[in-house]
Amino acid sequence: MQKGELEKRVFVFIDAEYVIQSLRTLRNKPREHRILINNILWGNLIEYILANRLLKKVFYYSCELDERENPLTYHSQQRYFKKLQEEISCIDLRLSQLQKVPLKTKSTWNEQQSSSSIRNKPWTYIQKGVDVKIALDLVLNAYKDLYDVAILIAGDCDFLEAIKEVKALNKQVELITFDRTEKTSNVLIAETSLHNELSYTQSNKRFFITSYDDKLSQLRIKFGGN
């Protein structure tokens, strides 16, 4: 017997870094409007994409900061995670680690690296293992028949094979993306049963609250920016 739409069990998979980067590069967003992680209204977003269906689990994928590198930001992140758990009772924080790597620039890209030159170069951090966790959770939970619909908030083509596997198990996959300057792959979109691209106009004050950068606004007025 087939389930009605409202009876279908829904798992939500959130690539947090994708959401944060997307909100920074939303098309039509005024430059003086900043969207910080604390401005995101996750509960509103989940309620919207759920569309009155049965929410069973929310997986939130991110990277845990290193307390030794910056205790202040580490404890700020821990408070944020605690707030998420209080607001969304069925959330599962799936945390990976950040890897510190030398920052690639035009001047250093092809440079022969010595141990001394590496020590003196600027560093950046990259996520490790997040995409693998998302793909595994999509497939394993489908095999266990724990959901009927997977809602994926992400935009990475690395999930393509996982989505195909989930569909082969007769599960639906819905894709939620944002109208950003870097567009989502049409190949990824084509594999999903539903694609919903959220715009700045649609999302502002509904799924996030913008912070106003008064300094940037003043510069735009001074130099005649739009």
Instruction: Provide the CATH number for the domain formed by 12-222 in this structure.
Output: 3.40.50.1010
* This prediction's pTM: 0.82
As a whole number of angstroms, the distance between CA 64 and CA 180 comes to 26
39 within 8 A of 72, measured Cβ to Cβ:
no
R_g of the chain computed on alpha carbons: 20
Q: What residues contact residue 73 under an 8 Å CB cut-off, 6+ apart?
A: 65
First to last CA, the chain: 57
Furthest CA-CA distance within the chain: 67
* pLDDT tens digits for range 75-118: 999 999 999 999 999 999 999 876 665 666 544 434 444 444 44
Identify the pLDDT of residue 212.
Answer: 52
Supply the pLDDT for residue 211: 63
Across the range 53-78, mean pLDDT stands at: 91
Q: State pLDDT tens for residues 164-198.
A: 999 999 999 999 999 987 778 888 999 999 999 99
Q: Would you state the pLDDT for residue 217?
A: 37
In Å, how far are 122, 148, 169, 185, 192 from 7, measured between CA atoms? 52, 9, 18, 31, 20
Task: Give me 108's structure tokens.
Answer: 């250093």
Among the listed ranges 86-90, 108-112, 119-123, 135-139, which one has the minimum average pLDDT value?
108-112
pLDDT the model gives residue 34: 81
Model confidence band, residue 25 (pLDDT cutoffs 50, 70, 90): confident
Contact 145, 121 (CB under 8 A): no
Cβ atoms of 173 and 150 within 8 Å: the answer is yes
Backbone angles phi, psi at 23, to 5 degrees: -70, -25
Measure the CA–CA gap between 33 and 154, rounded to whole angstroms.
23
Q: How far is CA 21 from CA 25, 47, 109, 117, 157, in A?
A: 7, 21, 24, 30, 16
127 pLDDT more than 90: no
Q: Confidence band (pLDDT; 50, 70, 90) for 23?
A: confident
Residue 47's pLDDT is what?
94
pLDDT for 126: 62
Residue 206 has pLDDT above 50, yes or no: yes
What is the DSSP track for 92-118? EEEEEEEEEEEPP-TTTTTPPP-HHHH
CA-CA-CA-CA torsion sign (30, 183, 151, 65): negative
